[in-house]
Amino acid sequence: MRTQNLQSDFFSRNRKNLTRQLEKGTMALAFSNPIAMRNGDQQYVYRQDSDMFYLTGITQMESVLLLYCEKNSWNEILFITKPDPKTAIWDGEQLSKSRASEISGINEVRYTESLKVTLLELAPKTNALAVSRPLHHIIAGKWVDSVLEINDQINLTDLKPKIARLRVIKSSEEIKCIKESVRITHEAFNNLIKIIKPGKKEYEIEAEMIRTFLSNGADGHAFDPIVASGINSCTLHYIDNTKKMEDGDILLLDFGAEKNGYAADMSRTLPVNGKFSARQAEVYNAVLRTQKKTVKIIKPGISIKEINKQVRIWMEKEMIQLGLITQKDIDNQDPDEPISKKYFMHGTCHFMGLDVHDVGDPIKPLEPGMVITCEPGIYIKEEKIGVRIENDILITENGNEDLMNGIPREIEEIELLMNQNHAK
């Protein structure tokens, strides 16, 4: 992560809230993400495991968090790689014990070379082992196995659901981080809309996104951006971004900045030539009407599953008006495979936070502090029209706050902005 501005008391509070869910006699382990190789001797840019970051703020690889209860008191140990002068020459300075303690709020910091001895000491006294680790982290799996070999009476449990229950409710610090990512995403939209015109390549729009993100100190993209013109707008996760944009094309953008580890996620659909055709406008307004109605029902007590069900009913009515389906199609449809899925294949909402598709249960009622997206869409491949409009929504005590309400989405706003820029 390029930036990490959260204070140690945030991470200390998260750990304290986690231990309240753990039974005495439990040892908890959280592992950092392993290095991922790109090709040859080149690595992918490192991104910390979200659970590990949430609990410690540590963004360095090969780190381990250990929590255990002794004499009714929870103890914390953070293990980090011992700084190596040769590594520092190539990759920069590694964390010292004091710096790791300052970031995480953990007083006891040890080097990972002492992890084995610590586990040997604690395993015989442990009744349960709760673990959060990336599934592809082979070495972490071996550490877990070593504990079970020492004490085969230990009950192995998954720590991730307990952390997820905490992560799904955003603190004031997290909401501030998300709002900053939204602000940067908004700025990128304002910048890229100036260069959209026929003849440009999709990747030129993507380039403006990352330029704006980095110039604002963001970590980069929260996910691979979608810059999909023409028929590409009908591919939900199109990320090639290589096509030349043509006069008359629709352009579907789905992108978001990540800063301090927290994501934004926005979709907007624009006319490449600055003017929606009559049919494009008809489809666009159908999606926009649905999104506006959906935002109004997002509040504490309703679940994402219930939202999805209601949106599909609204979408069926819009699709009838668009001539895509008939009432007879709806009356005769398979309830498990609605006819509307031909043109609206995905859900309307997902949780968002440290992961763009963040932890959370779509069946459980929404609560204040949760952040979700609202992104209905209609995709008509035979007409080369794909429209998605997506805003990020914060659940509040009395309803919600649309974090992207200020980013243009009305046809008149979009066309005015594009034509102003084309006239220059």
The set of catalytic residues is: 41, 237, 254, 265, 346, 350, 357, 375, 379, 388, 390
Please identify which residue in the block is written with the tokens 């579907």: 252
Check the CA dihedral 100-104-108-114 and report its sign: negative
- Listed in sequence order, the residues at least 6 apart from 190 whose beta carbon sits closer than 8 Å to its beta carbon are none
The residue to which tokens 């005015």 are assigned: 416
Q: Tell me, what amino acid is at 291?
A: Q
Phi-psi region of 128 (alpha: psi -120 to 50; beta: other; left: phi over 0): beta
Residue type at position 320: I
Distance in angstroms (rounded) separating the CA atoms of residues 211 and 420: 22
Please give the structure tokens belonging to residue 20. Answer: 């309240």
Half-sphere exposure of 121 (CA within 13 A, CB side): 8
- Whole-angstrom distance, CA of residue 421 vs CA of residue 197: 10
295 Cβ partners below 8 Å, 6+ apart? Answer: 374, 391, 393, 400, 402
CA–CA separation, 386 and 370 (whole Å)? 29
Residue in 226, 222, 274 with CA at minimum distance from that of residue 252: 226
Question: Phi and psi of 421, rounded to 5°?
Answer: -75, -35
Contact yes or no for 246/233 (Cβ under 8 A): no
Distance CA 241, CA 321 (A): 32
Contacts of 358 (CB under 8 A, 6+ apart): 167, 168, 263, 350, 351, 352, 371
Q: Is the dihedral angle over the CA atoms 206, 208, 210, 213 positive or is it negative?
A: negative
Contact 408, 414 (CB under 8 A): yes
Q: In terms of DSSP bridges, do strands 73-80 and 108-111 run parallel, antiparallel, or are they unpaired?
A: parallel
Q: Which two tokens stand for residue 262?
A: 């927290």
